Amino acid sequence: MTTFEIKDEFYLNGAPFKIISGSIHYFRVVPEYWQDRLEKLKALGCNTVETYVPWNLHEPDEGKYCFEGQLDLRKFIQTAADLGLYVIVRPAPYICAEWEFGGLPYWLLKDAGLKLRFDNPEFIEKVDRYFSQLFLVIGDLQISSDGPIILFQVENEYGGYANDKTYLKKMIKLMKEKNVTVPLVTSDGPWGDMLENGSVQSEALPTINCGSKVKEHFKRLRAFHEKKRPLMVMEFWIGWFDAWEDKQHHTTDAELAAAELNDILAEGSVNIYMFHGGTNFAFTNGANYYEKLAPDVTSYDYDALLTEWGEITLKYRAFQQVIANYTEIPKLELSQKISRIHYGMFQVEAKTSLIANLACLAEKKTHNYPLSMEELDQGFGYVFYQSSIGKARTVEDFRLIGCMDRAHIFVNNQLQAIQYDQELGESLSFELAEPVNDLGILVENMGRVNYSVKMNHQKKGISDGVVINGAFQSEWSMYRLPMDNLEQLDFALAWQAGQPAFYRVQVMIEKIGDTFIDLTGWGKGFVVVNGFNIGRYWEIGPQKRLYIPGPLLKKGQNELIIFESEGKAGNQILLTDTPDLGKTECKKC
């Protein structure tokens, strides 16, 4: 039997072992490319791959589980094993990861008695049930059963959230009850009280997350350990993520990062975060909230060693040179040749408004007050609220109370205003000119906050109500719009300028490759390629083009559907082989 132990060092089959790992999130990469990304990880000189596990995708609705397709975690781990890689699994319940709600399922917010990430009976019970399913899928892949998994992580950066040690011990107990037998670790920042708050040293090895000053942080970690233990940076941040409205794509200096890597490997083990970032497909991006809401862009490029689209970078080569000082770099021929293709311009051939299609996309739900997205049993996307607001008159005080995150306000299908984040709740005034007037409100979930104290207040849609001239409006019709059923669209229905609308583009191709969609001239929305939502776009940037992995395309006719919420649609789109992030690829690679 193969063994992996934590003593004064890591030991594999009784011999000291230096973990050289890189992060790849299987859920941010199409499965057809898992092999390619893992091969490039091994060719870097890594012996291990690390991945988070997003609870909110594996249990999208309470009691309903998915471990197939892009969520086939078992297949991803087995693919790594076939390449001779070991695996570190960080299984939730919370992952952060710049991921929607930090990986927590939206439906947790429906339970008023539930306290997130604390020793709360309701929360513990739901984690327990989920762990029963998760470890049934991957439990036999532990190294103690001759599988590739060498470590599991307990929670994630808990010391930056709370210091409930009873909760942490219950998480450990749950994992062991599910027959977790490999060693456990925790990971926290090395600042302030984070290590003290998030560690249970008797049962899990403390590791740290940081991007610089490694020698200083290792000194702190060494002093924190109760006895001689291995030093490890579980997240060596080699780049950063982008949020909408950032001035530019975040990058870091390759040589400085490589020098920090050398400092880590001289004393301990590492997990490079991120080796390959991938993509926040569909509506899976998270958000931060400090002074204002900062939702993350669709690309999770992270200035990683591989680009979002999987190309080797100059930073990759700089890291490889450092790793070569600590282990032999394997000679590995890549099994896939992935090309990027410029397909050219394509015209919009059909369009139809959202409002005309509401009955096609959603079953109307009525209630005497507006319900939040969570109360409507919906995790992602949009909700459209409608109410008849009476006769012609002046509305002097119109307010959205408890509304998140972005709202388009219509009267008689004419846009009156758009409110976003801190603007929500501001008073508006307008004239009602018709004998009977209808109010419509399209509310978008821009991504639930994935870090810090705002996580406890992430209900989307309208939670409290709508005030008209000093009083709450009653009698509402609501339409759930997760946008996962666009085959129901009727493009024969009316289109109206300035309204949120869908646009169809037919793309005929003879050769399949990766490409990027350029939406210059469009405002804000998302793009669906042959039924797969590749993510959001927004003209404010910094991201201007969306990545389309080749496996989403097919020879012959392809259907692209673009939802444009701002009424700024163009008449055409460009499919190009050139991304827009300004990454420094390694041209000789």
pLDDT at 585: 54
Give the separation between CA 44 and CA 324, rounded to whole angstroms: 9
Tokens, residue 192: 């302030």
User: Which helix (H) or strand (E) is 288 found in, with range?
Assistant: strand 287-289
What residues contact residue 571 under an 8 Å CB cut-off, 6+ apart? 347, 348
pLDDT tens track for 499-516? 999 999 999 999 999 999
Give the separation between CA 522 and CA 416, rounded to whole angstroms: 20
pLDDT tens track for 120-163? 999 999 999 999 999 999 999 999 999 999 999 999 999 999 99
pLDDT at 583: 44
Tokens, residue 265: 């490997």
Overall average pLDDT of the 392-419 stretch: 98
Fold: same for 4-323 and 344-353+500-576: no
CB 195 within 8 Å of CB 221: yes
Mean pLDDT of the chain: 97
Tokens, residue 521: 């001239």
User: Nearest to residue 412, comparing CAs of 426, 428, 392?
Assistant: 392
User: Which helix (H) or strand (E) is 257 found in, with range?
Assistant: helix 254-267
Give the separation between CA 164 and CA 111, rounded to whole angstroms: 21
Sheet of 10-12: strands edge to edge? 4-6, 10-12, 15-16
Backbone angles phi, psi at 67, to 5 degrees: -135, 40
- CATH fourth-level superfamily of 4-323: Glycosidases (3.20.20.80)
Q: Where are the domains positioned within the chain?
A: 4-323, 344-353+500-576, 357-481
pLDDT tens track for 60-78? 999 999 999 999 999 999 9
Tokens, residue 421: 């984040």
Overall average pLDDT of the 557-578 stretch: 97
Give the separation between CA 260 and CA 277, rounded to whole angstroms: 20
- The single residue listed with the structure tokens 């307010």 is 399
pLDDT at 437: 98
Give the separation between CA 497 and CA 284, rounded to whole angstroms: 29
What residues contact residue 314 under an 8 Å CB cut-off, 6+ apart? 254, 584, 585, 586
Give the separation between CA 477 and CA 479, rounded to whole angstroms: 7
pLDDT at 581: 61
N- to C-terminal Cα separation, the chain: 39
Give the separation between CA 550 and CA 29, rounded to whole angstroms: 12
Q: How far is CA 12 from CA 4, 18, 88, 181, 351, in A?
A: 5, 9, 14, 15, 60
Max Cα separation, the chain?
83
Give the separation between CA 567 and CA 499, rounded to whole angstroms: 5
User: Nearest to residue 79, comparing CAs of 29, 116, 113?
Assistant: 29
User: Nearest to residue 505, comparing CAs of 527, 474, 475?
Assistant: 527
pLDDT at 329: 98
As a whole-number percent, the residues of the chain with pLDDT over 90 amount to: 98
Task: Please report, as a single letter, which amino acid is at residue 61.
Answer: D
Using the predicted structure, report yes or no on whether residue 584 has a pLDDT greater than 50.
Answer: no
Angle between helices 254-267 and 314-323 in degrees, nearest 10 = 20
User: Which helix (H) or strand (E) is 470 found in, with range?
Assistant: none
CB 576 within 8 Å of CB 545: yes
pLDDT at 1: 78
Exposure string for 92-107, b = 16+ CB within 10 A, e = fewer: bbbbbbbbbbbbbbbb
CB 438 within 8 Å of CB 387: yes
pLDDT at 582: 47
pLDDT tens track for 33-42? 999 999 999 9
pLDDT tens track for 180-222? 999 999 999 999 999 999 999 999 999 999 999 999 999 999 9
Total residues belonging to the chain:
589
Q: How many CB atoms lie within 10 A of CB 442?
A: 22
Task: Please report, as a single letter, which amino acid is at residue 351.
Answer: K
Tokens, residue 566: 């701002």
Give the separation between CA 511 and CA 531, rounded to whole angstroms: 19
User: Nearest to residue 208, comparing CAs of 225, 221, 227, 223?
Assistant: 221
Q: How confident is the model at residue 351 (pLDDT cuts 50, 70, 90)?
A: very high
Overall average pLDDT of the 52-56 stretch: 98
Tokens, residue 241: 């993520």
Tokens, residue 387: 């109410």
Give the separation between CA 483 and CA 476, rounded to whole angstroms: 21
State yes or no: cis peptide before 579, omega within 30 of 0: no
User: Nearest to residue 268, comparing CAs of 47, 16, 40, 86?
Assistant: 16
For 344-353+500-576, give the CATH class: mainly beta
CATH of 357-481, one of 3.40.190.10, 1.10.8.60, 3.40.50.1820, 2.60.120.260: 2.60.120.260
Backbone angles phi, psi at 373, to 5 degrees: -55, -40
User: Nearest to residue 280, comparing CAs of 98, 470, 130, 424?
Assistant: 98
- Catalytic (active-site) positions: 157, 235
Give the separation between CA 459 and CA 402, rounded to whole angstroms: 9
